[in-house]
Amino acid sequence: EGLARVACAGEVNGEVVDLRTVLDSDCELNIVTASDPEGLKVIRHTASHVLAQAVKRLFPDAKIAIGPAIEDGFYYDFEAEPFSREALDKLEAEMKKIIKEGHELKRYTLPREEAIKFMQEKNEPFKVELIEDLPEGEEISFYDQGEFVDLCAGPHLMTTKGIKAFKLTSSSMAYWRGDSDKARLQRIYGTAFNKKEELNAYLEKMEDAKRRDHNKLGREMELFTTVDVIGQGLPLFPPKGTKMIQKLQRWIEDLEDNEWGYVRTRTPLMAKSDLYKISDHWGHYKEGMFILGEDDEDEEGNSISGNDIFALRPMTCPFQYYVYKARQKSYRDLPYRMGETSTLFRNEDSGEMHGLTRVRQFTISEGHLVCMPEQIADEFKNCVNLAKYCLETLGLEEDVTYRMSKWDPENPDKYLGDAAEWDRVEGAMREILDDIGLEYTEEAGEAAFYGPKLDIQAKNVYGKEDTMITIQLDMFLAERFDMYYIDQNGDKKRPYIIHRTSLGCYERTLAWLIEKYAGKFPTWLCPEQVRVLPISEKYADYAEKVLAELKKNGIDATVDNRSEKIGYKIREARLDKLPYMLV
């Protein structure tokens, strides 16, 4: 009886299903409660339907789209006017009313044509499109709760009374099916838990996330800003933010060159399309590049007018390959480790832009290692060790997870090479990672088009995951660029290539650091490490002498020589999150 009261769903032969599912044969059965991730997901999915029902009651002209459960809650998309906080509060009140009414959720199915006609009569075009896109023979199920009916595969709670604690957290614009060419929708986010205490703990965590959000805090601390007339995803860095990136960059360059055996290169920010055609970025990545000028091409990609087409570089590898090729290399020159502080350009979708984590121009600690086959394992391990050292130095090592990103055999056209080559190189990478003793997951479809990679992942304060550092095995581009070395016997041999970053993108790393430390950075990274606070104007000359001594010793210091009271100066220094005040 106790289990029955807290049951949210069942798990039959590994599949989560409604409690209303009839068991008509032997099976492996598990009862799912709110303590299980899948049970919480069922609660949140039902809460999204209650939200849609509330929207249809208060905004009857709104058109419903989709409303899934997500990692920390749920959302539902509507074609409607933007929802204000006041509107969200009214919807919350209506949702509580619906929950109290205790509507039973009833599941039923309809044949395809009847299902389409049903949603057409309800004037719900997004649901009609979803049904039309379902494969022939697919079961089309609906859930009925009171006056509201929704197209849904489920599973759901038995009644709306099963939702104990919820909150609508925000609203934003979204595109139908994530396509910027399709309808603009309004997305309402919410969360739900089994207990009010759990909800309150989550909301408190979200308040802390808002305080740490780099997009807000970084602007308040004058670390970066953006301007509409310059463009989305093109941040400006005032002196404080510039100083922090400068410190990171100088540290990484000295570290790589002096301790890890790298040579430093400097290559152009743009190139003719010919370069990207050799690497095949033109074929696999052209949509993500900024093309300079317009020109017509024939079917083979040749310019019809004869004019050169240029593009801003989205990566540095093809450029550094020509640095390698500038002088013939022998086996004694390998491994040849090239490092560059590279400014790159990628034509990200406008809907993906966010603060410093997703931008169109960014700078990266990029490097390419050209190795003999027998060197590849040790060099790959060293790349992992360098990345881990950088993370440990910044205090970020506990915040990351490791992912081996593989090709997608279901879509071979996205990649160079064949299945046998990919299996061989992925197997080699797996051996290296296992030998290191790294804990990692594997994910298909996330590899670069020229080889598998190790992605070092981290989540922002809201739980969204991004790749911070990447280390890739390249099995194709050496041949495409005719790269070789002379072996001990005087024969030409193809090298292997590792693409890697030691710290990743400086902009994204700065965002990560802002959120990790809530602006209270380790002293060595602070753009202002010390502020000298003279008690009155008559000590200004002495304060300037102290400042000069600090700067002579490499300390980033300033003087607050305003004619303000010392208490006021101290409060301001604390708000600026300074590590040291000298009074």
What is the CB neighbour count within 10 angstroms for residue 428? 18
CA distance 258 to 284: 36
Contact 38, 9 (CB under 8 A): yes
Of all residues in the chain, the percent with pLDDT exceeding 70 is 98
Query: What pLDDT, on a 0 to 100 scale, did the predictor assign at position 137?
Result: 79
Whether the per-residue pLDDT at 55 is higher than 60: the answer is yes
Could you give the 3-state DSSP secondary structure of residue 190? strand
Whether the per-residue pLDDT at 258 is higher than 90: the answer is yes
Structure tokens at 546: 């102290």
Contact 530, 559 (CB under 8 A): no
- DSSP run (H or E) holding 4: helix 2-6
Which one-letter amino acid corresponds to residue 491?
D
Half-sphere exposure of 416 (CA within 13 A, CB side): 22
44-48, 137-141, 391-395: least confident range:
137-141
Query: What pLDDT, on a 0 to 100 scale, did the predictor assign at position 306?
Result: 60
Query: What pLDDT, on a 0 to 100 scale, did the predictor assign at position 156?
Result: 94
Query: What pLDDT, on a 0 to 100 scale, did the predictor assign at position 305?
Result: 57
Could you give the 3-state DSSP secondary structure of residue 324? helix
Whether the per-residue pLDDT at 261 is higher than 90: the answer is yes
Q: pLDDT by residue (tens digit) across 557-576? A: 999 999 999 999 999 999 99
Half-sphere exposure of 298 (CA within 13 A, CB side): 7
What is the CB neighbour count within 10 angstroms for residue 342? 23
Query: What pLDDT, on a 0 to 100 scale, did the predictor assign at position 296?
Result: 61
Angle at 228 between CA 577 and CA 243, to 5 degrees: 35
The model carries a pTM of 0.82
- DSSP run (H or E) holding 572: helix 566-575
Whether the per-residue pLDDT at 68 is higher than 60: the answer is yes
Q: Position of tokens 């309402």?
A: 188
pLDDT band for 448, please (50, 70, 90 cuts).
confident
Q: Quick one: average pLDDT of 277-292? A: 89
What angle in degrees, to the nearest 10, is found between the helix axes of 376-394 and 419-436? 50
Whether the per-residue pLDDT at 303 is higher than 80: the answer is no
Q: pLDDT by residue (tens digit) across 523-544? A: 999 999 999 999 998 999 999 9
Mean pLDDT for the chain overall = 93
Q: pLDDT by residue (tens digit) across 318-363? A: 999 999 999 999 999 999 999 999 999 999 887 778 899 999 999 9
Q: Quick one: average pLDDT of 117-126? A: 94
Q: Quick one: average pLDDT of 82-94? A: 95
Could you give the 3-state DSSP secondary structure of residue 231? coil
Q: Quick one: average pLDDT of 190-203? A: 94
Burial label for 410, CB within 10 Å (0-12, 13-18, 19+), is exposed
Contact 39, 11 (CB under 8 A): no
Could you give the 3-state DSSP secondary structure of residue 61? coil
> Which residue, among 491, 499, 430, 438, has the nearest Cα to 469 in the 3D structure?
499
Q: pLDDT by residue (tens digit) across 477-527? A: 899 999 999 999 999 999 999 999 999 999 999 999 999 999 999 999 999
Q: How far is CA 236 from the centre of its chain?
A: 21
Beta bridge partners of 408: none
pLDDT band for 462, please (50, 70, 90 cuts).
confident
Whether the per-residue pLDDT at 300 is higher than 70: the answer is no
Whether the per-residue pLDDT at 422 is higher than 70: the answer is yes
Q: Quick one: average pLDDT of 209-233? A: 94
Q: Quick one: average pLDDT of 120-142? A: 91
Structure tokens at 150: 């929704």
Half-sphere exposure of 219 (CA within 13 A, CB side): 11
Q: How far is CA 580 from the centre of its chain?
A: 34
